[in-house]
Each structure stands twice: as C-alpha cells, then as structure tokens.
C-alpha cells in the first residue's frame, strides 16, 4: 500500500512526499535548508496519516498532527518513547514490534495491518508501512513510519464478508431451488444444495461443465441453451418453463430464470441461474384441467343429448305417422319435416366438429345479401311468434369470404340465444353494413343480430364466448353456441364482439372480410331428381343399419349393388377379378385397411375405376389426396348425383 512517501538514500539526500523535495535530519526529524518551512507545512497539514520517524532502536524521533489526531499523544508525550507502546499487549508479548523492524531492515520494507492502541487504551485497525533509512555508507540510522487508521474500512469489509457468508449460507440452505452461477460462456462456476437435490449432481461433478447438459436432446438440437443466454445477455433476463434432464436421465418440468451479471463498467461477467422443479405443480394443473374437461364434457353431453333427442323424436314421429299410411300430400309433408330434422342435426354436428377442429371451414366468396335473405326464413322458424324479426340490409353490401354453412349456423345460434333472452317477446334485427379498413387495412362487412332482451352484465359479457359457458339451465344448451360464433368469425379472418348491458338488450357483431372474387353461381339443388343408372357399384360400409339403406336406395335407382362390410373384403373382390364400374366406400371402417387405404390400392390396381368416399368426420384429409368425398349425413339425391357425375367423367 503506497502513501506517496518514499524514504531512502543517504541521510542528507532527497526525500519525497507527494513530489516535494526536502532535506531531513534523521536524528531530530527536522527539515534543514531552504525547504524546511514548506516541508513542515506539508507534514503538519496531513492529518489522515501518522507520519513520523524512528531511530535505529525504534524510539520515536518526530511526530506529525495526523499521528496526534488518531493516536492521541502530543509530541512532548511521545518523542523519545519506543514505538512498541502503540501495539497491543499480546503483540508485544509475541515480539511483533521487533519483528517488524527486523523485516524492514532485512527486506527493505515492512507492510502489515493489525490492531494498535491509542493513548486512551481504545484500539483501532491500522495499516502500517515501515521503511529503513540508511546513510551514504549503507549504515542503518533509523526508520520512516506511516500509519493509517482504516478501522471503518475494515468494519465495512468485515460486514461485507459477513454478509457474503450469510448469503452463501442462505443459498446453500435453499433446497427447493437450484441456485448457481455461470460464466459468460455458460459453464457452471458454483452449485448449491438445491441444485444437487433437484438435478442429482454433486458440486465436484458439475462445476466447470456447461449448463446445456441439463437440456433435452430436442432442445439441444434446437439450440435452446445458447438462445437462452443470448436473450439474457441482450434483455437482462430470460424466463421460461420446459423439460430438463437429471443426472439419472429422468425428466422434470422446470421453471427457469437466467439473469445477466455485469460489473461496474457494464461488462458481462456471467449469469445467475435459478431453477425450480415444477413437475408436481404441472401434474396438479393437468389433473385440474382434466377434471374441468370432464365437467365440460358432461355439460356438453347433456346439452347435445337434449338437442339430439328432440331431433330423433321428430324423425321418429314422422316415420311412425308415415307407417300408419295416409295420403301422399300428408306423407310428403312428414318426409320434409323429417329431412328438416336431419338438416338441423347435420348443422349441430358441423358446429361440434368445427369447435373440436375436426372439420375445416370451406371458405369461399359468399353473396351476403342472398345468404341473409335465405337465413331470415330459418330464423323466423327458430324464434317464437311473439318476436318480430326484421332485416336491415342496405343496397351494395359487399360479398364476403367465409363458409356459408357455418355463417348460417352462427346466425341460427345467435337467433336462438336472442329468443331465450326475450321470454316475453320482443324485436330481433338481422343486419349488415360495409366497413372500410376495419383493422386499418382490410375492407369487411359487419353482420349483426340485435335483440331487445334483458341484456347481460359485464362479467357475463366477458365470458360469453368461452366454450361450455352458459347461463341456461341444465339441458337447455351446450355452451357451444357463442364459442362457435367466435371461432367461426376468427377462422374467417375476421372478429366478433358483444355489446350489451342489463336492460338494454344485446347486439352481437361479426366482422367478415370482403371477398376479392365474385361469388360462385348457384349449385344444383340436392332436392333435384336423382339420376338413374345401371352401373355395377361396390359399396364398402360397415354400419349394419346404414349399409342396407344405401344399397336399397341405389337399387331403386337401377344400379347393381354389391355390399361388403370392410375395406379388405372390397379389395379381395377386386383382386379376384370382379368387375365394377364404381367404388363407394366409408373412410372409417374396422380392420387394418380403412377407406382411404382401400382407395389408394384401387387406384394402383385399377386407375380407371372411379372412387367416391364418405365420412362422418372431416372430409379434408381425403379431399387433399384428390378423392371426391361426401360428408355424412347426405341425401340420397346427393349420392346419386355424385355417382352419375363420376361415371360420366370416367
């Protein structure tokens, strides 16, 4: 430790204190010559250091104000006394003063820290430097001694060490968290007890190793460890959850925090890493989600059962009445009512499958004016006679890009909710208006349904789009209606929201993007007369109720039908050389070969044989492979039309 004091050379040579030359008489400690006054002023001005001289035996020969300030002795009290009186009793008994002078004499300098004693007997922690002073012949003639009181600094350092010790004890005592440090390259530099408990490595096994060994193989392949450090360095902090690997190879679900550590200059010196094993919490959350899912499924099942029982009752009643006979006009009305019940069931299934993402939306340009004019009639059938239904449809409404079936389902859902919100009757308005740049760049049309019902409080509005959420009594709804509306709008590339307050009614708005292309022309009505034919058709259908109905319907149209209950049996007939003009197969069938596998094999063996598939699930996978697909339930007319078109194109 340097204090700017350099004592050395001949007794009358140059001395230097903070760059000031002087000549000093070692025997008296008094400055000689023209610089004596300046030297005396300098030494007297220093009160942070005790600067004084000793003779060759250790007797004090000079004394400055700094020595007087923190040692307490006046010059008259201490000059001629041995410097050992500043040492503690234990240091004097151990010969520390003599050893200090001996070291200074032999090594040219003595420097140490230790306790010293003031005049009043109190102790202070001193930093001491002793330099030997020799004459021109090299003979030792005394010592220059500089002492500084560094008690406060020592106390601060001691407090810091104690704080660090307490912190280390705290960190090492934590067993619920892995707390450790990384160097700037990601290598582990220390390890606490929690890290050993959670990850299984002892300190000597892991210190010096790269922290990436805790990551899974897939995360390593994706470069996640390096990305985590890069984010922590750039943003100051990285936080994430994911799978980590213990020493024994087992995985645990970890919550990880990495903080960048920088020095006073801002230089990165490493990372602090805290990891917690959240496997139990994650498993608990999974069990809770499963319980909630089962509760939701129970609610869904109740609502679906209610709706389907109504549909089945309608179909059953129609069939029973037809079975009793009657005139053709009455039976035709009953058949039409039964088909309407089937159509309602079809839309309910489509709603459920769209919600479960088992059915993709069939998005196309839709003439919104025609769609709403068509839907208004259905809405009037859904609501009661005490509800007035009006259509607010200005001219020039743009076509929209959406799924027309799902649009109809969404509006019917909204109409049913509005009906239930107006038990005493009211007014329902279906409308639309063009919206230029609704999101700042996209033109769209707002389709809305407004009712004059009781309205909803804010907490209900906030949850109204949640799946399975309903305010209706058990069995009065599935809780899927508004969630289907919300999902439909967003899958169309738009949005949905609700404006409502208690006592002011409710308006549900759907934003649908404007179509860039013109809507398609009208399609052939599925209720048109079914085309007849004489072709040989192989039907692969495993359902024992549906299969004979399909066979009988096609035979009534003149076709020669062969039925098998599995894909493998259908393939066996083709391999055996049986000649068919068309294959009609269900996609989902028992056994190793489903309908899609069967279609692939038939195309390989007989490329010219037309294939039509049907499914009660999503038709997207099969359609993506180029096959014509009929979604169940379908009308016999639709099946006959598809067969006629396929045979004509073959």
> What is the secondary structure of 548-561 as a DSSP string?
HHHHHHHHHTT-EE
Determine the Cα angle at 342 with ends 338 and 343, to 5°: 115
pLDDT digits (tens, 9 = 90+) for 285-315: 778 766 655 655 555 555 556 566 666 666 7
pLDDT at 556 over 80: yes
DSSP letter for 86, please. Answer: G
Residue 287, token pair as written in the block: 């069990």
Highest averaged pLDDT of the listed ranges 25-39, 396-410, 626-640:
396-410
Residue tagged 């279609």 (tokens): 599
Q: Taken in order 392, 393, 398, 403, is the CA torsion positive or negative?
A: positive
Position 348 scores a pLDDT of 65
Position 183 scores a pLDDT of 94
Residue tagged 């330099």 (tokens): 131
Position 304 scores a pLDDT of 59
Domain ranges in the chain are 5-151, 174-277, 286-355, 364-513, 536-649
What is the CATH class of 536-649? alpha beta
Position 527 scores a pLDDT of 45
pLDDT at 2 over 70: no
Position 14 scores a pLDDT of 33
Position 553 scores a pLDDT of 81
pLDDT at 571 over 90: yes
pLDDT at 18 over 80: no
Beta strands in 354-423 (DSSP E): 364-366, 387-392, 400-402
CA 485 vs CA 405, 412, 431, 498, 505: distances in Å: 12, 10, 16, 11, 18
Q: Lowest-confidence range among 230-239, 396-405, 445-454, 478-487? A: 478-487
The residues facing 244 across adjacent strands are: 215, 252
Position 238 scores a pLDDT of 94
User: Residues of the chain with pLDDT > 70: what percent?
Assistant: 78
What is the CATH class of 364-513? alpha beta
pLDDT at 355 over 90: no
Question: How many Cβ atoms sit within 10 Å of the Cβ of residue 186?
Answer: 18
Question: Would you say 124 and 153 are in contact if contact means Cβ atoms under 8 Å apart?
Answer: no
SS (H, E, C) 95-138: CHHHHHHHHHHHHCCEEEEEEEECCCCCEEEEEEEEEEEECCCC
Question: Would you say 238 and 258 are in contact if contact means Cβ atoms under 8 Å apart?
Answer: yes
**Domain 5-151 is found in CATH 3.90.950.20:** no
Q: Give 166 or 365, the one with higher predicted confidence.
A: 365
Position 315 scores a pLDDT of 73
267: confidence class by pLDDT, cuts 50, 70, 90: very high
pLDDT at 468 over 60: no
- Give the C-alpha separation, 53 to 144, whole Å: 5
- Give the C-alpha separation, 151 to 254, whole Å: 47
Average pLDDT, the chain: 81
Do 5-151 and 174-277 share a fold? yes
pLDDT at 351 over 80: no
Q: State phi, psi for 271 to the nearest 5 degrees.
A: -135, 145
pLDDT digits (tens, 9 = 90+) for 594-620: 889 999 999 999 999 999 998 876 555
CATH architecture of 174-277: 2-Layer Sandwich (3.30)
Position 167 scores a pLDDT of 59
Position 42 scores a pLDDT of 65
Question: How many Cβ atoms sit within 10 Å of the Cβ of residue 561?
Answer: 18
- Give the C-alpha separation, 354 to 61, whole Å: 102
- Give the C-alpha separation, 127 to 3, whole Å: 11
Q: State phi, psi for 411 to the nearest 5 degrees.
A: -70, -35
- Give the C-alpha separation, 461 to 458, whole Å: 5
């Amino acid at each position: 430790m340097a204090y700017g004091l350099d004592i050395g050379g001949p007794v009358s040579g140059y001395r230097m204190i903070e760059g000031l030359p002087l000549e000093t008489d070692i025997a008296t400690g008094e400055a000689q010559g023209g610089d004596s006054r300046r030297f005396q002023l300098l030494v007297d001005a220093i009160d942070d250091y005790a600067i004084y001289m000793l003779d060759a035996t250790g007797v004090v020969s000079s004394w400055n104000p700094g020595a007087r300030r923190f040692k307490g002795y006046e010059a008259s009290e201490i000059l001629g006394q041995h410097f050992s009186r500043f040492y503690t009793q234990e240091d004097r008994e151990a010969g520390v003063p003599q050893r200090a002078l001996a070291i200074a004499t032999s090594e040219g300098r003595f420097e140490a820290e230790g306790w010293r004693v003031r005049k009043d007997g109190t102790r202070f922690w001193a930093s001491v430097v002793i330099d030997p002073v020799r004459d021109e012949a090299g003979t030792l003639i005394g010592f220059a001694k500089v002492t500084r009181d560094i008690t406060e600094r020592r106390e601060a350092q001691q407090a810091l060490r104690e704080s660090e010790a307490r912190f280390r004890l705290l960190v090492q005592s934590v067993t619920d968290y892995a707390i450790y440090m990384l160097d700037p390259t990601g290598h582990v530099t220390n390890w606490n007890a929690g890290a050993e408990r959670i990850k299984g490595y002892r300190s000597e096994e892991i210190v010096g190793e790269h922290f990436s060994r805790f990551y899974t193989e897939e995360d390593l392949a994706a470069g996640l460890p390096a990305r985590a450090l890069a984010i922590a360095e750039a943003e100051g902090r990285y936080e994430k959850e994911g799978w980590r690997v213990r020493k024994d190879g087992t995985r645990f679900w970890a919550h990880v925090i990495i903080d960048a550590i920088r020095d006073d200059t801002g230089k990165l010196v490493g990372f602090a890493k805290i990891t917690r094993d959240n496997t139990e919490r994650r498993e608990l959350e999974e069990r809770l989600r499963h319980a909630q899912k089962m509760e939701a499924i129970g609610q869904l099942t109740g609502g679906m059962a209610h709706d389907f029982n109504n549909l089945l009752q309608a179909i059953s009643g129609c069939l029973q009445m037809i079975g009793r006979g009657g005139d053709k006009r009455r039976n035709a009305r009953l058949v039409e009512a039964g088909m309407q019940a089937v159509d309602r069931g079809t839309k309910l299934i489509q709603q459920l499958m769209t919600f479960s993402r088992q059915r993709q939306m069939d998005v196309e340009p839709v003439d919104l004016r025609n769609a709403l004019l068509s839907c208004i009639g259905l809405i009037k059938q859904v609501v009661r006679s005490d509800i007035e239904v009006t259509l607010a449809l200005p001219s020039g409404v743009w076509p929209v890009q959406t799924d027309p079936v799902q649009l109809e389902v969404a509006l019917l859902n909204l109409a049913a909710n509005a009906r239930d919100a107006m038990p005493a009757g009211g007014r329902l308005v279906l409308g639309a208006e063009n919206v230029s740049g609704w999101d700042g760049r996209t033109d769209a049309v707002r389709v809305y349904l407004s009712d004059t019902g009781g309205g909803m409080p804010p907490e209900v509005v906030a949850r109204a789009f949640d799946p399975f959420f309903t305010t209706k009594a058990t069995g009065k709804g599935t809780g899927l209606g508004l969630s289907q509306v919300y999902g439909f709008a967003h899958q169309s590339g738009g949005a949905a929201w609700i404006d409502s307050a208690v006592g002011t009614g409710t308006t549900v708005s759907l934003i649908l993007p404007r179509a860039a292309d013109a809507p398609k022309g009208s399609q052939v009505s599925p209720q048109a007369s079914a085309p007849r034919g004489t072709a040989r058709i192989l039907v692969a259908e495993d359902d024992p109720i549906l299969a004979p109905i399909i066979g009988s319907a096609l035979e009534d149209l003149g076709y020669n039908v062969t039925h098998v209950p599995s894909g493998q049996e259908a393939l066996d007939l083709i391999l055996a050389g049986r000649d068919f003009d068309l294959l009609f197969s269900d996609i989902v069938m028992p056994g190793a070969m489903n309908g899609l596998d069967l279609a692939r094999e038939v195309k390989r063996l007989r490329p010219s044989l037309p294939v039509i598939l049907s499914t009660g699930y999503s038709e997207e996978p099969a359609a993506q492979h180029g096959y014509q697909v009929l979604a169940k339930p379908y009308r016999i007319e639709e099946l006959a039309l598809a067969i006629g078109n396929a045979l004509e194109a073959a």
